[in-house]
Structures are given as structure tokens and as C-alpha cells.
Chains A and B, each alone.
Chain A
Amino acid sequence: MSKRIGIEVAVAAAEAAALCRFDVAAVYPITPQSHVAEHLSNIVADGRIDAEFITVESEHSAMSAAMGASATGARVVTATSSQGLMYMHEVLPIASAMRLPIVMAIANRAVSGPLNILNDHSDIMPQRDSGWISLFAENGQEVVDMMIQAFKIAEHRDVQLPVNVNIDGFQLTHMVEPLEMPDQKEVDKFLPPYKPYATLHPDKPVSMGTFAMNDVYTEVMKAKDAALVNSKEVILAVWKEWEKRFGRAYEPIEGYRVKGAEILMLTMGSMGETAAVAIDELRKKGIPAGLLKMKLWRPFPFDELKKAVKGAKTLIVTDRAVSFGGPGGPVAGEVRSALYDQPTRPAIINEIIGLGGRDMMVEHFMEIVMKAAKAGRKKRKEAYEFYGVREA
């Protein structure tokens, strides 16, 4: 039986990895970290599970060590944040190209400069094209569930890709809140031991991380893209199974009060909860607003998005990062391109919100929606807006 407990979410993420009986954790303790790393090390040091904790000298090494361990067939977990993730960047596409099912908890935080470290999504967005499956959690419960689901998805024979679980830094990682911690027996039933496709072992030698020039690189890239695209089917199946076993449903894009909604707002991560409260308030005022909470960022849920926005007049896409000199926020850029070939599509408004820990309260979300309601389909001058920026 799962147990309702109060726990800090970062600690819960590590506990979830322990329920998955990870074999190796390779993490660097700062630049900056969260309690995920600290608690993974506690779990190993206390001998609670039979695992190795590899202390490395950087995040670049953390991912490299994680890859080496994964290549031997170990179940591997790591965690990072902000600059640490940026430093890891070089190694991320290699992990996915080598099809190593590593699971990484990311405490999403702003990147320098200026030095900030508070919550936004500017660390994960540059990793978008690394070939990792990317999940976004909204609350502590989803963090625990997604950490466990992540291993099942990553290790599935038809997937075999690394997965990152995005956890809003501070807003989620530092929050003590109630959640259901699944029982070890239930997790064991859900997650069988990892059966690797190939391992580094002297008894049956193989080569990994090989060389591929222009005569084959294109085919390799196509195969990697197909792996990401095809992983969605497995993700959906894993979520179905999760719902059956644990009673909590997951969807790539979860709708909240979308019935009859003319104005939709799309969020990723923990702000979905505060935004949901704003939607409740707006509905009380008779404004037909609804919320779309995107949980799956890679592979991008094209079909689900198209379905979700059908009938809406306006879609407000919130972004927690900026593609400087580009289309505004990365999420809005992708949403626009995903809907481009639709015969009818909503007007799209891009609000860049909550940068570097700027707080977003219920009234802020209400203001955004009410402004959109007033503007109707009138075209905006700007393709995107830095919400709440102080102007001269």
C-alpha cells in the first residue's frame, strides 16, 4: 500500500529513484544542486539499497560516468540544475545516441548571467535537441510518479533513451508537501529489472560510441529521431499502466476546465497549479477560460496539442525561457509551428513569465487571460511579451 507522507520534493525524487533500485548514482554536488543529489548519497551511504554513488569532479563527468555505468547494464540516476546542466550539455546527445536509459532529475533554474539560480526553464530549453525524453512535473506527486515512470519508459526495449524529469527549482524542489509514496512491492511489480540490449562485458565484447562519417551519420540521426518519435506510444502505454496500478492518470497535455473554453492558457511545470486557481476565479467571473498543462515536451505531443486547442479562439502560451532574437519563448515557437497547417487555429499569444524566480500569483495569470479576452482576435503588435517587465 502506498503511504501518504509529508516530504521535501527533492528528497522525494531521490526516494523514488531508490524505489526503482538504481545501481549507480553519479552526481556532482554543486553549481548548483538540490537535495536530490544529497539524498541519493544518503540512501547509498546508509546501505538502504545495493548501489554505488560516484563522486565526480563536474557535471560533464557526472554524465560521462553515468553513461559508462549505464553501458555496463546498470540502472543509473543523476541530477543537476542550471549551470550544471549547461556544463553537461556536451555529453547529453551522446547518451541519447548511445541509447543509454539514464534518468536525470533536473531542478530547473535560471542560467547565468547575471548569476541568479532561481526558478525558470532556461536551463532545460537549450537541451531540447539533445535527443532526451523530457517530462515536466507539476507537483511533488508528479515528481515521484514521473521518476518511477521514467525508468520504465527509458528502459523499454522499443525506447532505450535517456529521460529527464523537470522539477521547478525551489518552487518544487524546496517544498515540503504531502504526497503518496508508492510501496516497494508495487514499484517492483511495475518496474522489472533492466534488461539491456547490449552491455560492456569482457565475456561478450562489443564496441559502443563508435565513429560514423558522412556515409552513415544521416542514417544514424534518422534512427535517433525515429526512436524519439516512436517513444510516445510507449510513454502513453506506461502512463495507462500507471493509472491502472496507482490510480493517477497522466496525459501529454492535461486539460483543466477546457469544456467550452474560448481562451486557453498553456503552462509547463509547477505554475500550472497557480494558473488553475486563476482559471477557477475567471470562470466564476463568467470568462470562458481553460488551462492546458503540458507534461511531455519531448517527444512533442503534436496530435494531442491539435486536439486540445480545437474550438478555442485564443491560446496563451506561457514560456519560462527566451529564445533571444528568435520567436519569443521556445514553447510558443513550437506550438505555433505545430498548429501552422491546421485549417483553423486559435490566435496565439506568447507570454514570457516567471524569469529568474519572478513570482507569478493568481492575479497575474488572471490579468494575462483578461487582457487576452479583451483583445479578442485583434492582432498584437509583438509576437511575444515579457510579462510584467518594467518599461521606461
Chain B
Amino acid sequence: MAAKKWPENWQNVNRGCVVFRPGSAGDYHTGSWRAQQPVWDNVKCIKCGLCYIVCPEGCISEGSDGYYSADLDYCKGCGICTHECWPRAIKMVEEG
């Protein structure tokens, strides 16, 4: 996890708190929040892509085989993908 870099003092606060480094949200590895993780069963998956759309972290991506998986650095274990997948291809399982 990247070290947080707060301005040392108020004089160093960027005007209007503008963040000039694009993609800096990637520094926060929300994966550390996870208590359960989604596990895909590609036999049931119909490749509808709904999980990809609904993931609030945007951490689900489509593999070259057309199936989906989560980037566990960012998957926070919210379970929305599991809840929304209507063929029930995703299961939440305990971490560890």
C-alpha cells in the first residue's frame, strides 16, 4: 500500500485541493477492508456482465475467455456482485 502523502502544512495545500496526479485513488487498496471475497463459478456464469457493471469499486474485469474476476487489491467484499448475479454464479466466502 502506497504511503499517504498529506501536505505537510497548510501552505502546501493545493489550491482548491486539486489533485494533479490522475488515478491517485488507486493508492488506496480497499481490498484490506474485505471480510468475505467473491468466488466465481464459471459453469453457471452466462457472461451477462452485470457483475462488472454493478461493482462499486470498478474492480471486476473481463478475462480473455469472457469470464469475470475481481482484483482482490480493491475488492472490498461488499457482496453486491453476488447479490445481483441472477444465475447465482458468484458466492461470498470467508477470507483466509
Tell me, yes or no, whether A and B come into direct contact in the complex with CB atoms closer than 8 A: yes
Residues of A at the B interface (CB closer than 8 Å) are 97-100, 160, 197-198, 205-210, 212, 215-216, 218-220, 222-223, 226-227
Main DSSP-derived SS at the A contact region: loop
Q: Which of A99, A210, A226 contacts B19 (CB 8 A)?
A: A210
The answer on a CB contact under 8 Å between B15 and A207 is no
A163 and B83 CA atoms in complex are apart in Å by 48
The answer on a CB contact under 8 Å between A197 and B13 is no
B15 — which chain A residues lie within 8 A by C-beta? Answer: 99, 160, 197-198, 223, 227
24 A-B pairs within 8 Å (CB atoms) are namely A97-B16, A99-B16, A197-B16, A197-B18, A198-B15, A198-B16, A205-B22, A206-B19, A206-B22, A207-B19, A207-B22, A207-B25, A208-B17, A208-B18, A209-B17, A210-B17, A215-B4, A219-B6, A219-B9, A220-B10, A220-B13, A223-B11, A226-B10, A227-B15
A210 — which chain B residues lie within 8 A by C-beta? Answer: 17, 19
Determine whether B64 belongs to the interface, using a CB cutoff of 8 Å to chain A.
Answer: no
Q: Which of B4, B6, B11, B17 contacts A98 (CB 8 A)?
A: B17
Known interface pairs A215-B6, A219-B10. Does A97 touch B20 (Cβ–Cβ under 8 Å)?
A: no
Number of interface residues of B (CB under 8 A): 16
A99-B16, A197-B16 known; 14 new pairs, CB 8 Å cut-off, are A97-B16, A100-B16, A205-B22, A207-B24, A208-B17, A208-B18, A215-B4, A215-B6, A216-B7, A216-B13, A218-B10, A222-B10, A223-B10, A226-B10
- Report the minimum CB–CB distance from B4 to chain A (whole Å): 8
The answer on a CB contact under 8 Å between B10 and A212 is no
Q: Which of A207, A219, A227 contacts B18 (CB 8 A)?
A: A207
